[in-house]
């Protein structure tokens, strides 16, 4: 390319402004154009890339003038600001002249089918209106194409895509990142290997700073698909020329450069025709000795001829691969079409087909849930196996990992016990706090049970989608309707299952069955609590010395009394003296009457033995009568005036320090809670899956 060919200066004839196209170009380019129209209507669904020529360049670089010169008519919007705001796919189709020698030239838009535009000024107005319809009327840009066909005997078969010019500063409604958006739009066209790039650069600017060549180099770094066009050769500085540019000595391109002279703005204002401009262009190159020997690199006719030849060669190069991709797509579509089956027009045939589809679906759903599917996966769990996994590995294990006392502190339990005693100090751990606390823990089982039902519902929906038979691809409306019916059916089963789960939890909360065979019972709870206290080295509250004798050396009956009376609560924190005087007698009475502890008879404790014992406390009134006073109060008013009570706090909590007695009460309560929670948990683990399976009709 660096060597200058010895070719005669360009000699443009006046009879025909453009050279004739090759026969192959007349046959393959129109076919490619038809394919482009078809794929344009498919939109993004088409994955086949067709050969075309994309025109890129900076704003006001002369792209529109080059395209109009190739057509030979004025039909593009012009102006000093951005004019091309939508990609314009321009298909030039060469036609034969009329028998009388006249030329018939007209244009057709794809978005206006059936209408021919013989007036090219109307083509310009239609482009402007269609641009404003999509991009607005204030310089906005969009990537939606306008497809225009030009039929004329004065053109060669070429397909061009006029892209918006690269701009730097946003104007009008253009966003601040207008340059990045336009570059992204251009790259979406020119990065395709089947696209030729027509890079337009003005000769009065530095070629090394050409935006067109820069973006073309990004898409085509080897320069195999890029054709350079140098415009505005007639307004270069005096003493300069573009010879080295056209010869490719500055930035080499495999397909070379073409130099053209466009109409100036004055020519456009004075309505100078393109035919006259072509004559002036020919005169310009003839009058410049520097361009002698560059006939194949100068002028619009040479550009049209070269574009036609390169496009035809490019189509020939990509045609085998294009044919292969189209054939592959046809085979795929044919298979899809065959899967739809034959058309059934009779009512009886349609009914039988529908019944067959529903039967196949029901059978597929049943076999997948029951694990009898012939196409069972060996790589992952599916169908009913996933349902079993949810029940056993997610639901049951999650409940077993829950500690019923993890959200209950010792202060919570102690507060509940003290609140249950009311205004009196009870001798035994009351039953009310146990029931309240265990109900609170049972209520925690509701949310995971409902979540389990939702998981099973979701799995059944997935199974339903996988069971939709292939025949349903023929009937998308039926498939959509089946999805709706199946979804409604499963939701109708989900609602009563959730209601039943709520009833199961409520039943467990409403009746605390402390007579259950697996319930730990009072005696066992006390025994375990005492062992816990002993292991933690907490001294027993009633292990007091009597008459200087150690409690460990006391008679067995006395030690037994102390251990069995561990639940007796101190009145106001003080054990009455008379209770420490007659322990053996009281224990014998209690043992003989079967009261409270009943351990002497060897019978096991029920919950009533702890919570339901009789209150043997001496009434306060009787204590008051029997008590003697050494110094009676003579002046009541004076005594009252000397005592000042402090106000009770707004929020009253138990003291921070636990007594030994309270520690044992807390331990007993936790043992009872865990024991009964395990009973309820096992019931829930068994009942919830049954309710789900029943109401979802599995």
pLDDT tens digit sequence for 600-630: 333 334 344 444 443 444 444 444 444 444 4
Q: Note the pLDDT of residue 684.
A: 92
Q: Note the pLDDT of residue 698.
A: 62
Cβ atoms of residues 261 and 70 within 8 Å: no
pLDDT at 555 over 80: no
Top-confidence residue, 690 or 384: 690
Q: Note the pLDDT of residue 400.
A: 85
Q: Phi and psi (nearest 5°) for 115?
A: -110, 130
- Residue 447: how many CB atoms within 10 A of its CB? 10
Q: Note the pLDDT of residue 154.
A: 85
Residue 365, classed as helix, strand or coil, is helix
Calculate mean pLDDT across residues 36-55.
71
* pLDDT interval class at 259 (50, 70, 90): very high
May I ask the CATH class of domain 360-533+659-696? mainly alpha
Top-confidence residue, 2 or 119: 119
The pair of three-digit structure tokens given for residue 293, joined into one six-digit string: 């020997």
- Nearest 5°: the CA angle 290, 295, 296 is 130
Task: Calculate helix-pair angle for 556-564, 583-593, nearest 10 degrees.
Answer: 70
pLDDT at 596 over 50: no
* pLDDT interval class at 107 (50, 70, 90): very high
* pLDDT interval class at 374 (50, 70, 90): low
The residues, ordered by sequence, that sit 6+ positions from 584 with a Cβ below 8 Å of its Cβ are 555, 557, 558, 561
Bridge partners of 546?
549
Cβ atoms of residues 225 and 195 within 8 Å: yes
Q: What is the CA radius of gyration of the chain?
A: 49
Q: Note the pLDDT of residue 556.
A: 43
Q: Note the pLDDT of residue 238.
A: 79
Cβ atoms of residues 252 and 1 within 8 Å: yes
Q: Note the pLDDT of residue 7.
A: 37
pLDDT tens digit sequence for 75-96: 888 765 567 788 998 888 888 8
pLDDT at 554 over 60: no
pLDDT tens digit sequence for 217-237: 999 998 888 999 999 888 888
Q: Note the pLDDT of residue 95.
A: 87
Residue 59, classed as helix, strand or coil, is coil
pLDDT tens digit sequence for 197-219: 999 999 888 877 888 999 999 99
Domain 53-326 fold is Rossmann fold (3.40.50)
Question: What does the alpha-carbon distance between residue 124 and residue 119 come to, in Å, rounded to a whole number?
Answer: 9
Question: What does the alpha-carbon distance between residue 27 and residue 35 come to, in Å, rounded to a whole number?
Answer: 13
The residues, ordered by sequence, that sit 6+ positions from 127 with a Cβ below 8 Å of its Cβ are 75, 76, 77, 88, 146, 148
The residues, ordered by sequence, that sit 6+ positions from 694 with a Cβ below 8 Å of its Cβ are 497, 500
- Residue 543: how many CB atoms within 10 A of its CB? 15
Q: Note the pLDDT of residue 244.
A: 87
The pair of three-digit structure tokens given for residue 436, joined into one six-digit string: 């309240």
- Residue 257: how many CB atoms within 10 A of its CB? 25
Q: Which of 189-203, 412-426, 483-497 has the lowest mean pLDDT?
A: 412-426
Q: What is the 3-state secondary structure of 2-60?
A: CCCCCCCCCCCCCCCCCCCCCHHHHHHHHHHHHHHHHHHHHHHHCCCCCCEEEEEEECC
Task: Determine what percent of the chain is predicted with pLDDT higher than 70.
Answer: 70
Calculate mean pLDDT across residues 277-289.
88
Cβ atoms of residues 227 and 258 within 8 Å: yes
Calculate mean pLDDT across residues 552-556.
44
pLDDT tens digit sequence for 490-523: 899 899 999 999 999 999 888 888 888 888 766 6
pLDDT tens digit sequence for 341-361: 676 667 787 788 888 888 888
Calculate mean pLDDT across residues 131-149.
82
Q: Which of 79-93, 155-169, 308-322, 669-683 has the lowest mean pLDDT?
A: 79-93
Shared fold status for 53-326 and 360-533+659-696: no
* pLDDT interval class at 321 (50, 70, 90): confident
The distance of Cα 166 from the centroid of its chain, to the nearest Å, equals 35
Average pLDDT, the chain: 75
Q: Note the pLDDT of residue 570.
A: 41
Helix spans in 47-100 (H): 63-71
pLDDT at 37 over 90: no
Q: Note the pLDDT of residue 628.
A: 46
Residue count of the chain, please give it: 698
Question: What does the alpha-carbon distance between residue 564 and residue 689 come to, in Å, rounded to a whole number?
Answer: 44
Q: Note the pLDDT of residue 528.
A: 73
β-strand 88-94 against 158-162: which pairing, if any? Answer: antiparallel
Question: What does the alpha-carbon distance between residue 570 and residue 489 come to, in Å, rounded to a whole number?
Answer: 62
Give Dmax (Cα) for the chain: 150
The pair of three-digit structure tokens given for residue 562, joined into one six-digit string: 């102390």
Question: What does the alpha-carbon distance between residue 238 and residue 219 come to, in Å, rounded to a whole number?
Answer: 35
- Enumerate the domain spans of the chain: 53-326, 360-533+659-696
β-strand 52-57 against 158-162: which pairing, if any? Answer: parallel
Q: Note the pLDDT of residue 449.
A: 93
Top-confidence residue, 221 or 377: 221
pLDDT tens digit sequence for 327-345: 888 898 888 777 766 766 6
Q: Phi and psi (nearest 5°) for 298?
A: -135, 135
Q: Which of 369, 541, 549, 324 is nearest to 460 (CA)?
A: 369
pLDDT tens digit sequence for 628-675: 444 554 555 555 557 777 777 777 666 666 666 667 777 777 888 888
pLDDT at 257 over 80: yes
DSSP annotation string for 473-516: GG-HHHHHHHHHHHHHHHHHHHHHHHHHHHHHHHHHHH---TT-
Calculate mean pLDDT across residues 26-53.
71
Q: Note the pLDDT of residue 403.
A: 78
């Amino acid at each position: 390319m660096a060597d200058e060919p010895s070719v005669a200066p360009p000699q443009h004839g006046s009879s025909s402004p453009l050279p004739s196209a090759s026969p192959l170009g007349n046959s393959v380019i129109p076919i490619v154009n038809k394919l482009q129209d078809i794929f344009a209507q498919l939109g993004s669904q088409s994955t086949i890339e067709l050969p075309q020529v994309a025109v890129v360049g900076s704003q006001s670089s002369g792209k529109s003038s080059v395209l109009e010169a190739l057509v030979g008519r004025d039909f593009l919007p012009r102006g000093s600001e951005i004019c091309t705001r939508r990609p314009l796919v321009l298909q030039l189709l060469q036609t034969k002249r009329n028998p009388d020698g006249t030329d018939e030239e007209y244009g057709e838009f794809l978005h206006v089918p059936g209408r021919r535009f013989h007036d090219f000024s109307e083509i310009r107005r239609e482009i402007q209106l269609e641009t404003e319809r999509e991009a607005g009327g204030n310089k906005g840009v969009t990537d939606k194409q306008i497809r225009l066909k030009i039929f004329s005997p004065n053109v060669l078969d070429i397909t061009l895509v006029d892209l918006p010019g690269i701009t730097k500063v946003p104007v009008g409604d253009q966003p601040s990142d207008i340059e990045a958006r336009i570059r992204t739009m251009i790259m979406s066209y020119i990065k395709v290997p089947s696209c030729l790039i027509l890079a337009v650069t003005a000769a009065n600017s530095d070629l090394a700073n050409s935006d067109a060549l820069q973006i073309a180099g990004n898409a085509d770094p080897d320069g195999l698909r890029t054709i350079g066009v140098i415009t505005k050769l007639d307004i270069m500085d005096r003493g300069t020329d573009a010879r080295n540019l056209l010869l490719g000595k500055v930035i080499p391109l495999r397909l070379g450069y073409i130099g053209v002279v466009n109409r100036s703005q004055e020519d456009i204002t004075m309505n100078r025709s393109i035919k006259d401009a072509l004559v002036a262009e020919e005169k310009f190159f003839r009058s410049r000795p520097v361009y002698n020997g560059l006939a194949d690199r100068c002028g619009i006719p040479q550009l049209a001829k070269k574009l036609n030849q390169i496009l035809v060669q490019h189509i020939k190069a990509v045609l085998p691969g294009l044919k292969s991709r189209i054939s592959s797509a046809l085979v795929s579509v044919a298979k899809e079409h065959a899967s739809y089956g034959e058309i059934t027009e009779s009512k009886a045939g349609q009914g039988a087909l529908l019944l067959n589809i529903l039967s196949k679906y029901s059978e597929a759903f049943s076999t997948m849930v029951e694990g009898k599917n012939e196409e069972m996966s060996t790589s992952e769990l599916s169908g009913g196996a996933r349902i079993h996994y949810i029940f056993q590995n997610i639901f049951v294990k999650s409940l077993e990992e829950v500690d019923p006392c993890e959200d209950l502190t010792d202060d919570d339990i102690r507060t509940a016990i003290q609140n249950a005693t009311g205004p009196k100090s009870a001798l035994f751990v009351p039953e009310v706090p146990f029931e309240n606390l265990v109900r609170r823990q049972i209520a925690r089982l509701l949310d995971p049970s409902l979540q389990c039902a939702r998981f099973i519902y979701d799995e059944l929906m997935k199974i339903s989608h996988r069971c939709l038979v292939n025949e349903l691809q023929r009937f998308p409306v039926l498939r959509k309707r089946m999805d709706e019916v199946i979804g409604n059916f499963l939701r109708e089963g989900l609602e009563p299952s959730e209601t039943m789960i709520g009833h199961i939890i409520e039943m467990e909360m409403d009746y605390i069955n402390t007579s259950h065979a697996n319930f730990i019972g009072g005696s066992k709870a006390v025994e375990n609590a005492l062992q816990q206290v002993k292991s933690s080295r907490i001294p027993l509250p009633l292990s007091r010395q009597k008459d200087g004798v150690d409690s460990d050396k006391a008679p067995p009956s006395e030690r037994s009394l102390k251990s069995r009376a561990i639940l007796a609560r101190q009145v106001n924190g003080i054990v009455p003296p008379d209770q420490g005087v007659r322990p053996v007698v009281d224990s014998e009475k209690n043992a003989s009457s079967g009261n409270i502890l009943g351990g002497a008879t060897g019978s096991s404790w029920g919950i009533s033995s702890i919570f339901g014992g009789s209150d043997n406390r001496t009434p306060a009134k009787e204590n008051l009568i029997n008590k003697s006073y050494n110094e009676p109060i003579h002046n009541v008013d004076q005594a009252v005036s000397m005592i000042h009570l402090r106000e009770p706090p707004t929020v009253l909590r138990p003291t921070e320090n636990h007594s030994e007695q309270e520690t044992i009460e807390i331990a007993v309560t936790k043992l009872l809670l865990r024991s009964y929670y395990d009973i309820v948990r096992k019931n829930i683990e068994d009942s919830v899956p049954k309710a789900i399976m029943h109401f979802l009709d599995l």
